């Protein structure tokens, strides 16, 4: 798997004695969570993992050198059952995914670490990561955080911004910047789960009234969005914007302390 993580920010490249010497109370560890799943006819199965690594690598280069932040090796497989039935999709069950995150958190706590952030780039993991951050706080007293992508891309068409969920303009543009050799620009397809302005309050996500969906309910090609406007230039711009926000969030997390109750 390609990586953009700086060597000096990648915990697996250290020896255990080097890890022992880290300031455990203020070192922030990042556990990337992503997926290996279908991304239409034009993007690779590793899209979520590649984008996660690309954004995180650029963000870590923007973190001040004196701030103790390290990335862990990613959990590449996620809860991807919305894409089951598309060849190449590899999905963990809810219980397996949660158990992996819990065991990794327990291992870090046993090594003396107190601060952990899940950096997630796959929508199917979102709610589970949020639950596990709370569980690790409750079980081990760790200070835990969630970081979801990079806060969105600027300048998108409203339709794409609202319903470009998967393999659309943003993901395609970022991979055109990061790994253009893996993008099949002659195989774009377009599908949307709904249109901006559709009547009714029931929505697929991010609303007070939602319904569960599978990709095959919406998009035979596996794409939810429109990749046609994608360019490498947009990908570079959005990477810079998102990685700047990610770096700022990581620094704030590294400085965060829970208030003591009096």
Provide the percentage of residues in the chain whose pLDDT is more than 90.
Answer: 94
Checking if the pLDDT of 261 tops 80, the result is: no
Does 260 map to a domain? no
Mean pLDDT, residues 191-214: 93
User: For residue 43, what pLDDT is reported?
Assistant: 98
The Cα-based distances of 201 to 111, 197, 205, 209, 219 in angstroms read 48, 11, 11, 6, 22
What range defines the domain where residue 123 resides?
Answer: 7-255
DSSP 28: E
Helices marked H in the chain: 16-20, 47-60, 94-110, 126-140, 158-163, 169-178, 232-255
Does 2 map to a domain? no
Does 114 map to a domain? yes
pLDDT per residue as tens digits for the range 105-163: 999 999 999 999 999 999 999 999 999 999 999 999 999 999 998 888 999 999 999 99
Does 184 map to a domain? yes
Checking if the pLDDT of 262 tops 70, the result is: no
The answer to whether the beta carbons of residues 242 and 149 sit under 8 Å apart is: yes
Does 262 map to a domain? no
Number of structural domains the chain divides into: 1
The answer to whether the beta carbons of residues 126 and 148 sit under 8 Å apart is: yes
pLDDT per residue as tens digits for the range 65-89: 999 999 999 999 999 999 999 999 9
Checking if the pLDDT of 97 tops 80, the result is: yes
Does 166 map to a domain? yes
Strand order in the sheet with 115-120: 69-71, 28-33, 115-120, 143-148
Checking if the pLDDT of 206 tops 90, the result is: no
Does 261 map to a domain? no
Mean of pLDDT over the chain? 96
Mean pLDDT, residues 167-183: 98
The size of the chain, in residues, is: 262
- Collapsed DSSP state (helix, strand, coil) of residue 230: coil
Does 240 map to a domain? yes
User: For residue 151, what pLDDT is reported?
Assistant: 86
In degrees to the nearest 10, what's the CA dihedral of 229, 232, 149, 179?
Answer: 120
Mean pLDDT, residues 249-258: 96
Q: What is the CATH number of the domain that holds 243?
A: 3.40.50.10310
User: For residue 259, what pLDDT is reported?
Assistant: 83
User: For residue 205, what pLDDT is reported?
Assistant: 86
């Amino acid at each position: 798997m390609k990586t953009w993580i700086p060597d000096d920010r990648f915990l697996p490249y250290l020896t255990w004695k080097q890890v022992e010497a880290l300031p455990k109370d203020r070192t922030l560890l990042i556990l990337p969570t992503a997926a290996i799943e279908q991304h239409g006819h034009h993007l690779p199965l590793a899209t979520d993992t590649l984008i996660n690594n690309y954004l995180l690598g650029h963000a870590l280069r923007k973190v001040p050198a004196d701030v103790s932040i390290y990335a862990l090796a990613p959990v590449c497989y996620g809860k991807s059952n919305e894409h089951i039935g598309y060849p190449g999709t590899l999905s963990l069950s809810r219980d397996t995914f949660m158990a992996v995150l819990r065991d990794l958190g327990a291992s870090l706590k046993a090594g003396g670490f107190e601060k952990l952030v899940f950096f997630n780039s796959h929508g199917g993991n979102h709610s589970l990561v949020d639950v596990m951050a709370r569980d690790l706080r409750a079980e081990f007293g760790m200070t835990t955080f969630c970081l979801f992508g990079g806060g969105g891309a600027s300048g998108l068409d409203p339709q794409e911004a609202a319903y470009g969920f998967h393999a659309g303009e943003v993901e395609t543009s970022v991979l055109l910047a990061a790994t253009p050799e893996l993008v099949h620009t002659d195989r774009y397809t377009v599908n949307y789960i709904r249109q901006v302005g559709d009547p009714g309050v029931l929505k697929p996500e991010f609303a007070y009234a939602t319904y569960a969906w599978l990709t095959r309910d919406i998009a035979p090609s596996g794409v939810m969005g429109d990749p046609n406007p994608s360019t490498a230039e947009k990908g570079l711009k959005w990477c810079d914007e998102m990685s700047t926000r990610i770096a700022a969030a990581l620094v704030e997390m590294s400085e965060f302390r829970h208030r003591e109750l009096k």
